[in-house]
Amino acid sequence: MKAVIDVHGLVKTFGDKRVVDDVSLQVGKGQIYGFLGPNGSGKTTTLRMLCGLLTPDAGSGTCLGFDIRKESAEIKRRTGYMTQKFSLYEDLTIRENLDFVGRVYGLDKLKSRVDAALDRLGLASRRKQLAGQLSGGWKQRLALAACILHEPELLLLDEPTAGVDPKARRDFWDQIHALAGAGLTVLVSTHYMDEAERCHEILYIAYGKLIARGTIADVISQHDLATWSVTGPNLYLLSQELQRTPGIDTVAAFGTALHVCGRDAALLERGIAPYRLRPDLTWARTSPSLEDIFIQLMSGLDTNGAGKAPEPSA
Ligand SMILES: Nc1ncnc2c1ncn2[C@@H]1O[C@H](COP(=O)(O)OP(=O)(O)OP(=O)(O)O)[C@@H](O)[C@H]1O
């Protein structure tokens, strides 16, 4: 299968800061890829290089079969990009907003395009509503409708659901899956674990480097992270003690339990041994969640043992 995105060795430096460092990516058609990583790790910059809005300092490749350096106009024509801070005209209706976007881009068959986008995203019954009166979730949906008006083949969505409630996020993701089902390829950056779990594959970027990718099961199994769950009283105090215990790399609260993780299973067991004797605590071996893996990655410890990643500069 021909890759929709096939780029190698992308580098982008701002001043003396290398914010994207040797990123290579292959992305298949009709798939949803989740782009994850800490703030400032280079996700937006990578998305902007893929769609031709930024020229990489080094690296090359194609997006939708076009050269990302030389044919950015062709790529932009076929890509829908939803930025973190998209703007809508609050005193225009949903329909008027879409008409306006279509006219700015000089789209032909505008009426039928707007009708199709309204239908596709379930906005038809609200088409006369002012954008300013919409809730956050409906605003995101309108922004998505504006992105698909020109019938792109690729959607790049930069944290599209930030600040949106869980029900609206779920609805938004149903729309993304419907679009992918119709053949669109989607790259979406997010900080939400539940959204990561709705992607076909995830890409984890930290300090400008792509350090994990694959299905969720792949990413969990690639990082051999021994994990125990513990329940009992005063978990906060326990968590503080465990964090100082050799052999324990990370401790994170999940509801009424702590997940206690370590890259070396034997060292981890040695670390928790005294605590397993306490009658008020219940310990169980468990599988790491995706969040456990990300907490481990974000703690600067590469679970493949490559050492500590550089501190991001302020
Ligand atoms: N045009 C620019 N000029 C200078 N520095 C920039 C520019 N664009 C981005 N940066 C810096 O590059 C780094 C990476 O930014 P980027 O927006 O790609 O990260 P991100 O992973 O998308 O972050 P977030 O999750 O917060 O959106 C940040 O330190 C940012 O301040």
Rounded Cα–Cα distance for residues 49 and 56 (Å): 6
pLDDT exceeds cutoff 80 at 113: yes
Q: Verify whether ligand 1 is closer than 6 Å to residue 79 (CB atom).
A: no
pLDDT exceeds cutoff 60 at 307: no
For Cα atoms 153, 202, 160, give the angle at the middle one, nearest 5 degrees: 60
Q: Verify whether ligand 1 is closer than 6 Å to residue 19 (CB atom).
A: yes
pLDDT exceeds cutoff 50 at 224: yes
Q: Write down the pLDDT at residue 300.
A: 60
Atom of ligand 1 nearest to the CA of 313: 29
Q: Verify whether ligand 1 is closer than 6 Å to residue 160 (CB atom).
A: no
pLDDT, tens digit, 9 for 90 and up, residues 177-197: 999 999 999 999 998 888 999
Atom of ligand 1 nearest to the CA of 48: 18
Q: Which residue has the higher pLDDT, 84 or 111?
A: 111
pLDDT, tens digit, 9 for 90 and up, residues 246-296: 999 999 998 899 999 999 999 999 999 999 999 999 999 999 998 889 888
Q: Which residues pair with 253 in a beta bridge?
A: 258
pLDDT exceeds cutoff 70 at 171: yes
On whether the CB atoms of residues 154 and 184 are closer than 8 A, the answer is yes
Over range 15-24, report the average pLDDT: 95
133 CA to middle of ligand 1, Å? Answer: 31
ipTM of model = 0.96
pLDDT exceeds cutoff 90 at 312: no
Q: Whose CA is nearest to atom 4 of ligand 1?
A: 14
Three-state DSSP string of 196-263: HCCCCEEEEEECCEEEEEECHHHHHHHCCCEEEEEECCCHHHHHHHHHCCCCCCEEEEECCEEEEEEC
Tokens encoding 141: 């949906």
Q: Write down the pLDDT at residue 305.
A: 38
On whether the CB atoms of residues 22 and 56 are closer than 8 A, the answer is no
pLDDT exceeds cutoff 60 at 301: no
Q: Verify whether ligand 1 is closer than 6 Å to residue 190 (CB atom).
A: no
pLDDT, tens digit, 9 for 90 and up, residues 232-242: 999 999 999 99
Q: Write down the pLDDT at residue 1.
A: 58
pLDDT exceeds cutoff 60 at 245: yes
59 CA to middle of ligand 1, Å? Answer: 19
Rounded Cα–Cα distance for residues 291 and 192 (Å): 10
Q: Which residues pair with 258 in a beta bridge?
A: 230, 253
3-class state of residue 85 by DSSP: coil
Q: Write down the pLDDT at residue 302.
A: 45
Q: Verify whether ligand 1 is closer than 6 Å to residue 20 (CB atom).
A: no
Give the closest residue to 69 by CA, choosing from 129, 9, 124: 9
Q: Verify whether ligand 1 is closer than 6 Å to residue 313 (CB atom).
A: no
pLDDT exceeds cutoff 60 at 306: no
Q: Verify whether ligand 1 is closer than 6 Å to residue 42 (CB atom).
A: yes
Over range 84-110, report the average pLDDT: 91
Over range 204-229, report the average pLDDT: 92
Q: Write down the pLDDT at residue 194.
A: 87
Q: Write down the pLDDT at residue 310.
A: 39
Q: Verify whether ligand 1 is closer than 6 Å to residue 41 (CB atom).
A: yes
Q: pTM of this prediction? A: 0.86
Rounded Cα–Cα distance for residues 67 and 105 (Å): 22
3-class state of residue 18 by DSSP: strand
Phi, psi of 212 (to 5 degrees): -155, 140
How many Cα atoms are found within 13 Å in the side-chain-facing hemisphere of 90?
A: 5
